[in-house]
Chain A
Amino acid sequence: MATPAVTDKDPGDILSLALEWHAAGKRVALATVIKTWGSSPRPPGSNLAVAEDGRFEGSVSAGCVEGAVIEAAQEVIATGSQQLLQYGVTNDEAWAVGLACGGQIEILVERIE
């Protein structure tokens, strides 16, 4: 039986994978859940790693905001400036991107240098 090299459950694996991509010469951004309010699916410390070639592993929500975070991550990869993102039902972006569960999350996106 094949065993997966990485899962979204073990933060160590996502960090290792991000480092592996970086060591292979790819530019990589790391998104980390820093704060949650109400019912958010992933706790603080959850990671999503995004490479410049579009590959990503891990999660910061149940898939609700990953698309937007990956987009922001590409911007962070290009500029090198970290970003703080907030999503929730009260957010201006609620129409486009938000948490169906009614929770709110704040996410840090930083480039690995």
Chain B
Amino acid sequence: MRAELLDAAVRAQADKRPVVLLRSLDSAERWLLDPSETPDGLEGLPDTLRAHCYEALKRDGASVVESDGQRYLLQTISPPYRLLVVGAVHIAQALVPMARIAGYATTLVDPRPAFATPQRFPGIEILNAWPQDVMDEVSLTSRTALVTLSHDPKIDEPALAAALRSDAFYIGALGSKKNHAGRLERLAGLGFEAATLERIAGPVGLDLGGRAPAEIAIAILAQIVKARYARE
């Protein structure tokens, strides 16, 4: 396969656009479907194969299709799942690298410059801003998980409100049962229905029993993974 084609696929993925790589298994022919480009990359292909490629844009993974007695591999190159961590606290320092290992593109939001530093969080996107000021830019899609960890309602709750208005597949909020009850009450005051508020996992994380920051991070990440596959 030509490096240029693979490079175009990786760049589209970084731009958060799904593309489909089509490889002949009987020859060295390769195509890349990028619907945002004109032409779309499928020139010269029969209609049935084109239709298969466009269909594949809507899902993840790879499959083999046959056309005119030849076999082809269809592979969807999707943008990665994303995790938004609100609150640059000790638990976040464990959660962020773990989430990256699990394949989540991770962004950290905290308006306090002393907390969200590149020294404490090397190599990740840090937004030193109030969640209410950035939530419009940070697109929360059905491939996004959000977890609030700051323990400060001024920071956590605007983020939770934005997540509740989105298709985010997971919303978690750190805090005790008592804290969580107060949080739900305040969010209800903003007009959120009880059924909507049930989307928030709180107290956050699967109950693994651990209390150390890294152990809580594992419990949160485990709950995110579970939520992602429960949906499929």
Contacts and interface: CB of A to CB of B under 8 A. Distances in A.
A10 B80 contact: yes
Interface in B1-56: 1-3, 6-7, 9-10, 13-14, 23, 25, 28
A9 B96 CA distance: 15
Nearest to A10: B103
A101 B2 CA distance: 35
A33 B14 CA distance: 22
Nearest to B24: A82
B23 A4 contact: no
B61 interface: yes
Give chain B's interface secondary structure class: mixed
Interface stretch (A50-58, A62-70, A91-99, A105-113): A105-113
A22 B14 CA distance: 19
Contacts of A33: 62
Contacts of B28: 82, 110
B219 interface: no
Contacts, number: 84
B10 A45 contact: no
B113 interface: no
Contact of A12 (B23, B80, B122): B80
Give chain A's interface secondary structure class: mixed
A11 interface: yes
B75 interface: yes
Contacts of B93: 1
Interface in B156-182: none
A79 interface: no
Interface residues of A, number: 31
B25 A18 contact: no
Contacts of A45: 60-62, 75-76
A110 B1 contact: yes
Interface in A1-54: 1-4, 7, 9-13, 15-16, 18-19, 22-23, 30, 32-35, 43-45
A11 B77 contact: yes
B64 interface: yes
A110 B97 contact: no
A84 interface: yes
Contacts of A3: 96-97, 100, 122-124
B73 interface: yes
Nearest to A34: B73
A112 B21 CA distance: 14
A30 B1 contact: yes
A16 B13 CA distance: 11
Nearest to A7: B101
9 closest Cβ pairs, A-B complex: A45-B62, A9-B103, A10-B103, A44-B62, A3-B97, A34-B73, A12-B13, A45-B61, A45-B75
22 contacts: A1-B122, A3-B96, A7-B101, A7-B102, A15-B10, A15-B77, A16-B10, A19-B7, A22-B3, A30-B1, A30-B6, A32-B62, A32-B73, A33-B62, A35-B63, A45-B60, A45-B76, A108-B73, A110-B23, A111-B1, A112-B2, A112-B6
